[in-house]
A and B are shown apart, each in its own frame.
Chain A
Amino acid sequence: MKILAVCGSGLGTSFMVEMNIEQVLKELGVTGVEVSHSDLSSATPQDADVFFLAKDIAEGGAHLGEIVVLDNIIDMEELREKVKQLAEEKNLI
């Protein structure tokens, strides 16, 4: 499976979210998931299976397919919960 974190410029925020997703996956003991980051323009539905976006750009990324919207991008608890839920849905844990 592949996860893509997306933000407006694809430099800082999405990068931070990517590193945090990786950390959560490691905590959960999930392996075989590729995580990377990108900007809103370059991201296409083919780039990944699931996309993580902050609430404020969720509208602009609706076309990407399966998206997970983060209400607060620095809240690790929220991220942990959402990644865990995703992993359960995809039968990764």
Chain B
Amino acid sequence: MEGILSLLVDVMSEPAILVASIALVGLLAQRKNLSDTMKGTTKTFVGFLVIAAGAGLLERALSPFGAMFQEAFNMTGVVPNNEAIVALALTEYGSNTALIMFFGMVVNILIARFTRFKYIFLTGHHTLYMACMLAIIMAVAGFKSVGLIAVGAVALGIIMTLSPAIVQPFIRKLTGNDNVALGHFSAVGYAISGLVGKAVKGKKEITSTEKIDFPKGLGFLRDSTVSIALTMTVMYIIVALFAGPTFIEGELSEGTNFLVYSFIEAGNFAAGVFIILSGVRLVLAEIVPAFKGISTKLVPNAKPALDVPIIFTYAPNAVLIGFFSSFMGGVFSLVVMTFAGSTIILPGVVPHFFTGAAAGVLGNATGGVRGSIAGSFVNGIIISFLPIFLLPVLGELGFANTTFSDADFGVSGIFFGTLANYAGPIAIVISLVVILALMAIPFGKKKKVQQ
């Protein structure tokens, strides 16, 4: 008996097996045939181990960067990148992440079924990353075992429903209908960009970004491997020049030329992210379709919340304007942080591209060119400063030289982390109950707006 119990514990604490079991359940629920079930379960299992392999490579590329930054500027430099921090965290929090993700999706379906929030969050990789962040924060807050999973899952389900809900007014304005929602965890930045757009549009008729003739040719930035490799190379080389050859060749590179070493490590960072993305793709390949299938069956009138590029085609010029303006917001924030002497959040090209572009599109929808520029600039500032306040609530992982990049991670992480710090875990439980209760009330006023 004890043997079986310890075997069970071993199985449950191996995240790769756990995630594969979740995929297996999903495949069986869809009544797939033996061949598909075997394929899907095995791929999910291997995918998780691929993520772990990428994490190792990434960690080896990131830690010399941290050391060089410290030597050069005597400050800590952080490169926000979701894939990086999640891969590093999964080695310790993998099982809890998998369980929070699974039950969080169940909570999302339940909320959509029984309240007026009909959003089903289908951007699987963001669900995984948020589950991971909640696993860290709830553990740091002091939750354990079943309690941790329950609190994390309820929090995840709420975030999966509220995040699309707060951008939906702007998505409605942009797309002209209410059938599709945006499922991307930077909704706070997008909603603020939409509001800023409204505020700066002025009295004259608004000019849309799409009336501008704009040079194309920045398409390569959409290719995440290329954009990560290029920006990491630039950052690595700059930091290396400040840290100097003596330090790098003496302490880090074992004699290899300091610039060559930095170039290779920047490439290794991109390689690590590439591997992690392949792993994430394998892990999600079965889980997301199962979630989609089950939710459409159980929730009538469900609104699918989809990944951010769905809105890019509505305003391709605003995508580029938004990226640049958001990146400028990041650079502006970096200068402010340097003077303030705080931890330095370096502007990562991937978060600024995706969230900046979306902020630009939504800012354009409410305030034309001016709205697009101002809205995405503010988005850039938001996603630069939120990580500073998020780092302290992540425990040991706050010192990893990388962190979660998008706005909703910052907002919800800081929210739960601060509650735990000031009032303990019980405050988190109470806050979740209150939020759920508020969501369950069918507000007459809100309903009118939704029509």
A interface residues, Cβ below 8 angstroms from B: 7-13, 15-16, 19, 37-42, 54-57, 59-60, 71-74
Contact = CB atoms under 8 A, between A and B. Distances in A.
B103 interface: no
Interface in B214-238: 216, 219-220, 222-226
Contacts of B226: 41
Given A59-B219, A60-B219, A8 B309 contact: yes
- Chain B: interface secondary structure? helix
Contacts of A39: 223-225, 277
Given A19-B292, A74-B180, A40 B281 contact: no
Given A12-B124, A57-B219, A7 B277 contact: no
8 contacts: A8-B224, A11-B123, A12-B123, A16-B122, A16-B306, A42-B278, A54-B309, A73-B310
A37 B280 CA distance: 12
Given A41-B225, A60-B219, A7 B309 contact: yes
Given A11-B124, A56-B319, 20 more contacts: A8-B223, A10-B281, A11-B277, A12-B122, A12-B126, A12-B306, A12-B308, A12-B309, A13-B309, A15-B281, A15-B284, A15-B307, A39-B223, A40-B222, A40-B224, A42-B278, A56-B219, A56-B222, A57-B219, A74-B310
Contacts, number: 89
Contacts of A71: 313
A56 B318 CA distance: 12
Interface residues of B, number: 34
Interface of B: 122-126, 180, 183-184, 216, 219-220, 222-226, 274, 277-278, 280-281, 284, 288-289, 292, 306-310, 312-313, 316, 319
